[in-house]
Amino acid sequence: MNKTMKGFKKAKEYFENLATIKTNPNSIALGFSIGTFVSILPTPGLSVLISLLIIFIYPKISKLAILAALVIWNPIILMPISAINYKIGDYILSNNPLNTITLFEKLFEVSKRILVGSLVTGTTIATISFFIVKAIAKEYQKKHEEKEKNILIKENQQ
């Protein structure tokens, strides 16, 4: 088995373990959506620190789910989203022209557009991911409980 397949197998096991832990689906979904939101914000290199701070402040949120979101929303995936963030921010802030005098002013205006777009995109994707992850976690936990019950029934019958 090559390294890529081993990596995919490990990732699958990791996410199955995440879904079957005894944490409630709401906590898992909330952790994943917060991790998603933090990842989409234009904070290169700081998303891990921000996530650790959130974990420290809100200990009931699933730590594994936040970390899973950070892994999924890596810089390669976020590159095209950053362009979308700029377009959304530019649309919202279209009354602020970019024909500023200094380079600093231009950088500030571009950064504002990216930040505004990131807030819109991050909120949207985080909200959608909350409901998707919650449904997946509920289903996995339900199947896992049924499997455990079946094992106990078989053991008792023997």
- Does residue 132 fall inside a structural domain? yes
123 band by pLDDT with thresholds 50, 70 and 90: very high
- Does residue 65 fall inside a structural domain? yes
pTM recorded for the entire structure: 0.74
- Does residue 55 fall inside a structural domain? yes
- Does residue 79 fall inside a structural domain? yes
Q: Which residues contact 64 (CB under 8 A, 6 or more apart)?
A: 17, 18, 21, 28, 31
Q: Considering its fold, how many domains does the chain have in total? A: 1
Q: What angle do CA 8, 17, 12 make, to 5 degrees?
A: 15
- Does residue 26 fall inside a structural domain? yes
For the ranges 14-23, 67-76, 78-87, the lowest mean pLDDT is seen at 14-23
> How many other C-beta atoms can be found within 10 angstroms of the C-beta atom of residue 111?
13
